[in-house]
Amino acid sequence: MNLKDLQGKIDKLFTAKKYAEIITLLSDGVLKEFNVADLYAQKARAYFRIEMNHECEKNIQEAIKLDPENSIANSYYGHIFSEKGDKEKAINYYQIALKGNPKNVNAVNGIGNVYLSKKDFLKAKDYYEKAIELDPRYEYSYNGLGIVYYNLKQNDLALKFYDKALSFDKDFSSPYYNRALLYQRDNDKRKAKENFEKYLDLKKGETDFFVKYAKSRVVELRKLIVNEDYSLISDLVEKIKAKLSFTDESLTHYTSLSVSNELIFHDSPFRISEGSFLNDTSEGREFFNFLNIDTYNKSNKNLAEVFSKKPFIGSFVSNNKYDDLTLWRMYGKEQKEEAGGCAITIDIKVFLDNVNQDFFLDDDSNGATSQIEELKFYRVVYKRSDDDSFLIPNSSQEEQDELNELLIDLKGKVAKFKARKRKNNCDMINLIDLLNSIAYLFKSDEYQYENEVRLVLNGNGFEKTIEPDFLRPKVFIKLVPLKKSIKRVTLGPKVNRADEWASVFNYCFEKIELAPEILISKLPLNNYTAITRWLFFF
């Protein structure tokens, strides 16, 4: 077989998506016989399509040895660095690819993906349109344009481009996922479910974040479709979440000095734990008491309690509480030493972008979606002790009235759901699971001084770490390291050798060219009497 015939066979196999056959065809013997950069690059391309990036990179390097400006190899090197999160290197390799072949649509599309992941939607749009000019049938760029318009809240245009992508390749999985998100936004539950199911059909055997998320959504959408009362309650839950959304630029997390050491020096990912592991056993009760829901059978205390899943929670406070005596006593501990810990203030946008980037799905370097839908921070609200209403700290009376109207409406719909004659234990478990998604945003007013903010995730799609220790079992999700999002580190007023710790923190950040503010609290802790109560924060 000559080189031309071999390349023709490779092209046919790519069209048929028979990537394993391409890898077998391009054996080491064949590659050495022809010793052509394009063949190594094609093998790299096949490995990339089946997500074997290590083998992909090895073949890219062989191709570049033979031809440093090989367009195919450099474009896939761009994909590799894009997936690693090194966007500047990715763009550099895409540009080398375009120098080798200015009509390399894969490289142009790749640059669009980089700008998409940076949320620079207008630049992403420009590159996707350039890619389509080069190849009007390039489905990946139509999908990319759909994502751009989805993020710009232009739903009709988003749907148009997802449909266009599928018109060229009906087995392209990403547009089905994206259409499902779009139909979810439009509250078209049946179409959302159909598109998630089609996506899952095309992704059989895979277990990435988006597959897990799609499976969880299909289960939930089935409940919403068959049970109108449940669906109405779900709609109210979403409205309450929207009302409590936290929109400030930064917030603060109190923790121990030893945990800060892990987060900053060892770049350990930030953890959020399942609600069962919060140290305050009263968590969630204010909300369920308000709704007149017993989460266990009080009429017969000997009956076994049915477990219901709880969300995963990360606890923070508003930025103006970064140096607060009460919070130092309660949360800024080092072992049992009050105020011996740290308060870490983070930039919310940088943190969320880092999490989204870590879970950004590349499908030939074109992500299924540019954001994780449920990743949001929420304000905690507090139940007034003198009546049945709730207070949102630092908010207008109008905003509080709107929240309380939603809660009264929710209470009525929950009562109607409970009064249904045709319901079973499974229905109530489903209801409690749904309500748990906001239950941990409600506390009694004795804690309103904290101005607490919470990251609440249902955990769908995220890998759970399980530590079955007999003394203290744990279940948690590892997100991303905090270091790059840190704006300020405040050392507690009782940190030993605080000046030395401040110096160590400073040079740790300096090594990666960051310069967050570093403070040493001088609050008069010894003259202060505070409530001593322990809550789980990390």
pLDDT 10s digits, 29-43: 999 999 999 999 999
Give the DSSP H or E segment for 465.
strand 464-467
Q: What are phi and psi of 377, to 5 degrees?
A: -100, 145
Cα separation, 224 vs 502, whole angstroms: 52
Helices 139-151 and 121-134 cross at an angle (nearest 10°) of: 160
Q: Which range has the worst mean pLDDT, 66-70, 283-287, 298-302?
A: 298-302
Q: Give the mean pLDDT of 439-449.
A: 92
Q: Is residue 258 scored above 70 in pLDDT?
A: yes
In a domain, 91, yes or no: no
Q: Is residue 530 scored above 50 in pLDDT?
A: no
Cα separation, 118 vs 353, whole angstroms: 8
Q: Is residue 467 scored above 70 in pLDDT?
A: yes
Residue 17 CA: distances (Å) to CA of 23, 198, 286, 400, 414: 12, 18, 55, 56, 50
What is the amino acid identity at position 261? N
Note the pLDDT tens digit of each residue in 474-507.
999 999 999 999 999 999 999 999 999 999 999 9
In a domain, 3, yes or no: no
What is the SS3 string spanning 10-58? HHHHHHCCCHHHHHHHCCHHHHHHHCCHHHHHHHHHHHHHCCCHHHHHH
In a domain, 176, yes or no: no
| 8 Å CB contact between 372 and 217 | no
| 8 Å CB contact between 461 and 477 | no
Q: Give the mean pLDDT of 368-385.
A: 80
Percent of the chain whose predicted confidence (pLDDT) is above 90: 76
In sequence order, which residues have a C-beta less than 8 Å from that of residue 383 and are 6 or more positions away?
A: 286, 290, 389, 390, 391, 442, 443, 444, 445
pLDDT band at 535 (very low <50, low <70, confident <90, very high): very low
pLDDT band at 425 (very low <50, low <70, confident <90, very high): confident
Question: Residue 537's pLDDT is what?
Answer: 37
In the block, which residue shows the tokens 């890219």?
60
Question: Residue 7's pLDDT is what?
Answer: 92
Q: Is residue 367 scored above 60 in pLDDT?
A: no
Q: Is residue 134 scored above 70 in pLDDT?
A: yes
In a domain, 280, yes or no: yes
Q: 205 burial class (0-12, 13-18, 19+ CB within 10 angstroms)?
A: exposed
Length of the chain: 538
Q: Three-class SS of residue 111? A: helix
Other beta carbons less than 10 A from residue 244's beta carbon: 24
Q: Is residue 13 scored above 80 in pLDDT?
A: yes
pTM of the predicted model over 0.75: yes
Range of the domain at 283: 230-520
Nearest to 77 by CA among 328, 283, 365, 396: 365
Q: Three-class SS of residue 423? A: coil
Question: Residue 363's pLDDT is what?
Answer: 45
Total tally of structural domains belonging to the chain: 1
Cα separation, 473 vs 240, whole angstroms: 32
pLDDT band at 365 (very low <50, low <70, confident <90, very high): very low
Note the pLDDT tens digit of each residue in 42-51.
999 999 999 8
In a domain, 324, yes or no: yes
- Planar angle of CA 251, 252, 257, nearest 5 degrees: 160
What is the amino acid identity at position 112? G
In a domain, 482, yes or no: yes
Question: Residue 148's pLDDT is what?
Answer: 95
Helices 498-511 and 257-264 cross at an angle (nearest 10°) of: 20
In a domain, 42, yes or no: no
Cα separation, 334 vs 316, whole angstroms: 17
In a domain, 301, yes or no: yes
| 8 Å CB contact between 181 and 193 | no
- Planar angle of CA 240, 255, 251, nearest 5 degrees: 45
| 8 Å CB contact between 393 and 471 | no
For 270, half-sphere exposure in the C-beta direction (CA atoms, 13 angstrom radius) is 26
| 8 Å CB contact between 261 and 356 | no
Average pLDDT taken over every residue of the chain:
90
| 8 Å CB contact between 273 and 475 | yes
